[in-house]
């Protein structure tokens, strides 16, 4: 706005701004004043997240928009209220008449910003003429600062050309120069700090983009690094990182390291969508109007244009398409459910969920089920103020009963722990005295398995069975890790829908992964006797087991501290499992969550543990 006010052209546009067109306003009141136009389907790179190595089948040239058609459509949109046009591709700078297109767009009265998104290969050569023609904003794609990795990701050479283009843009006065970086786990998430440091001496806006699914890019939710995870990594190096204000329609969450020339931003398309303020429309190279990046619905403006449709008819067609725009992610990736459901771990809502998970999914024993407290907890889940007391009772009851249940299909070798009152542990079915390295016996076979004994007492309950928190102040800091698992049996129908990503609520696996990660970070707020642990790393992976029609969940946590992260790993697996259930329950309620268990742990006074 300041730039517009400081120039004669800008002041004229602000003073003569027309009322916004109803045709570019959708049923949710979003005004679409930003148009992205693809100039070509071709590209001189083969980025792994963008297209297959062999390329894509190109549209015949006769079916692509001509220069005059591009300008005609642009003029129509600007007349209806579009203020910003971004030229994209493919790679827009390989189109021979790109400079002419920019020049003609600049002449459109009412257009305030002409931008371009490029891979930067041809930028140094063309940018001086593009600036002269009227280009006033630029985004450059760069996913790594390592030349060899660049060639691996884009399957072509050219790293030095991109770097030259970035420096040329800063020399010509573009401020900021936006650098788009798609962050992919296993590829470049280790370069986050390097990219932030890149902004120290240059007026850049490095934009970290969450990896998104597109046909041909072999998208896998395991490759996505969420905004929160990236931000945590960066804040460990620069804790003084400052959040910057942003416009309502901005897709970016912006931050700045004090005294750095540039800044960084996060494009949170997957973890925290910005559909509610979306003001973007897209025209493909072959003339199709897309109202949402995630949707398959398109309207051919080219065909109507070539059939002689009048300007008034085109406006009606565009208005109808905009009016059909869904509330978010084309109605497919309903990720906003995370904000209002247990998966975002709002503490008061999740307290009951975690407790009920323990009550329902740990093996039920008849002796325990006969207690009034247990039955009351099942029928009347405690609220946030009551649950600590109820959980303490449940721990006491649990300690005095034999836990035994064996699912023939389970890989969990369940043990029977016949216990006396709290404080005594029996090592076989004849109540032998417990000792270090004792044996726990299965009830039916009378066979015993040697396992390290942790403690003769429940450390989180006092002699009267009341909940108490362990004092870990005297313990040394050590490296701790834990891995937990869970299995969600969905049935054939729901499993097929998850595999094909056809569940109405959205991408089940991606949302469950994020819920699990968030759950691990908030464990101490959900389990009252857990310490608040600074986690160094959290990873949640979900895989599909077709033989069992099941989602198999594995979570791992790491820290350097005084106490372990078993509960964080178990909470992550549990919340991921609950999220899968929540998103699939509309398809079927015949869903079973099972095998919620600790798989391994390392560190601590009691040694390592690994479940065979």
* Catalytic sites, residue numbers: 582
Which residue intervals of 380-433 are DSSP H helices?
387-399
Q: Which residue has the tokens 């310490």?
A: 531
Burial 151-189 (b: 16+ CB within 10 A, else e): eebbeeebbeebbbbbebbbebebebbbbbbbbbbebbb
Residue 25: both structure tokens together: 């306003």
- Distances in Å between the Cα of 221 and the Cα atoms of 157, 535, 559 are 28, 21, 24
Task: Tell me the C-alpha distance between 528 and 517, whole Å.
Answer: 19
Task: Find, among 106, 80, 84, the residue nearest to 37 by Cα.
Answer: 84
Specify whether the CB–CB gap between 490 and 594 falls below 8 A: no
- CA 117 to chain centroid, in Å, comes to 24
557 phi, psi to nearest 5 deg: -135, 150
Can you list the pairs that 240-248 forms with residues at least 24 positions away whose Cβ atoms lie under 8 Å? 248/277
Specify whether the CB–CB gap between 407 and 427 falls below 8 A: no
For 360, residues 6+ apart whose C-beta sits below 8 A from its C-beta are 593
Q: Are strands 204-210 and 252-256 parallel, antiparallel or unpaired?
A: unpaired
Residue 300: both structure tokens together: 């051919």
Task: Tell me the C-alpha distance between 557 and 521, whole Å.
Answer: 10
How many CB atoms lie under 10 A from the CB of residue 264?
29
Burial 63-73 (b: 16+ CB within 10 A, else e): ebbeeebbbeb
Task: Tell me the C-alpha distance between 330 and 199, whole Å.
Answer: 35
Task: Tell me the C-alpha distance between 576 and 152, whole Å.
Answer: 33
Task: Find, among 542, 490, 495, 487, the residue nearest to 514 by Cα.
Answer: 542
H-run or E-run covering 153: helix 147-154
Task: Tell me the C-alpha distance between 223 and 49, whole Å.
Answer: 10
Task: Tell me the C-alpha distance between 560 and 534, whole Å.
Answer: 8
Terminal CA-to-CA distance of the chain, rounded, Å?
Answer: 63
- SS3 of residue 207 by DSSP: strand
Task: Tell me the C-alpha distance between 490 and 542, whole Å.
Answer: 14
- Distances in Å between the Cα of 283 and the Cα atoms of 65, 233, 254, 417 are 10, 37, 27, 66
What is the CA angle 529-533-539, rounded to 5?
115
Task: Find, among 289, 232, 240, the residue nearest to 36 by Cα.
Answer: 289
Specify whether the CB–CB gap between 580 and 512 falls below 8 A: yes
Residue 356: both structure tokens together: 């009920």
189 phi, psi to nearest 5 deg: -65, -15
């Amino acid at each position: 706005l300041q730039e517009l006010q400081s120039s004669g052209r800008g002041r004229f546009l602000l003073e003569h701004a027309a009322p916004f067109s109803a045709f570019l306003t959708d049923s949710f009141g979003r005004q679409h004043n930003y148009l992205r136009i693809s100039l070509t389907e071709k590209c001189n790179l083969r980025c792994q997240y963008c297209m297959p190595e062999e390329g894509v089948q190109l549209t015949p040239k006769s079916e692509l928009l001509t220069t005059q058609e591009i300008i005609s459509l642009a003029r129509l949109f600007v007349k209806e209220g579009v203020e910003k046009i971004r030229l994209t591709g493919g790679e827009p700078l390989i189109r021979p008449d790109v400079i002419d297109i920019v020049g003609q767009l600049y002449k459109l009265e009412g257009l305030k910003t002409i931008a371009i998104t490029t891979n930067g290969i041809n930028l140094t050569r063309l940018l001086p003429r593009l600036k002269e023609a009227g280009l006033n904003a630029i985004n450059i794609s760069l996913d790594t600062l390592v030349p060899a990795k660049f060639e691996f990701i884009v399957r072509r050479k050219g790293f030095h050309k991109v770097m030259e283009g970035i420096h040329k843009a800063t020399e010509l006065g573009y401020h900021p120069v936006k650098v788009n970086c798609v962050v992919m786990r296993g590829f470049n998430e280790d370069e986050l700090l390097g990219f932030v440091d890149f902004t120290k001496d240059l007026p850049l806006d490095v934009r970290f983009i969450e990896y998104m699914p597109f046909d041909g890019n072999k998208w896998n939710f395991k490759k996505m690094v969420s905004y929160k995870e990236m931000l945590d990594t960066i804040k460990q190096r620069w804790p003084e990182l400052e959040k910057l204000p942003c416009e309502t329609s901005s897709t970016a969450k912006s931050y700045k390291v004090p005294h750095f020339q540039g800044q960084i931003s996060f494009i949170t398309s997957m973890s925290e969508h910005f559909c509610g303020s979306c003001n973007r429309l897209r025209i493909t190279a072959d003339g199709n109007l897309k109202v949402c990046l995630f949707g398959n619905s398109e309207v051919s403006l080219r065909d109507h244009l070539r059939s002689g449709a009048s300007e008034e008819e085109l406006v009606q067609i565009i208005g109808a398409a905009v009016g059909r725009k869904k509330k978010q992610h084309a109605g497919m990736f309903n990720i906003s459910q995370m904000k209002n459901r247990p998966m975002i771990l709002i503490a008061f809502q999740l307290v009951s969920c975690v407790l009920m998970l323990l009550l329902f999914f740990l093996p039920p024993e008849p002796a325990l089920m006969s207690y009034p407290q247990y039955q009351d907890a099942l029928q009347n889940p405690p609220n946030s103020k009551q649950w600590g007391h109820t959980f303490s009772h449940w721990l006491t009851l649990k300690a005095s009963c034999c836990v035994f249940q064996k699912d023939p299909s389970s890989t969990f070798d369940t043990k029977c722990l016949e216990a006396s009152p709290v404080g005594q542990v029996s090592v076989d079915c004849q109540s032998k005295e417990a000792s270090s390295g004792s044996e726990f016996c299965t009830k039916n076979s009378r066979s015993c398995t040697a396992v390290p004994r942790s403690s003769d007492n429940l450390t989180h309950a006092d002699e009267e069975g009341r909940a108490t928190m362990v004092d870990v102040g005297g313990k040394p800091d050590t490296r701790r890790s834990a891995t937990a698992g869970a299995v969600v049996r969905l049935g054939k129908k729901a499993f097929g829908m998850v595999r094909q990503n056809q569940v109405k609520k959205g991408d089940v696996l991606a949302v469950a992964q994020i819920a699990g990660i968030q759950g691990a970070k908030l464990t101490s707020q959900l389990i009252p006797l857990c310490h608040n642990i600074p986690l160094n790393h959290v990873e949640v992976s979900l895989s599909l087991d077709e033989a069992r029609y099941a989602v198999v969940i594995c979570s791992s946590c790491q820290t350097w501290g005084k106490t372990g992260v078993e509960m964080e790993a178990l909470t992550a697996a549990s919340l991921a499992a609950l999220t899968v259930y929540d998103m699939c329950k509309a398809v079927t309620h015949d869903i079973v969550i099972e095998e919620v268990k600790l798989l391994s742990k390392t560190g601590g006074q009691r040694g390592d543990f690994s479940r065979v």
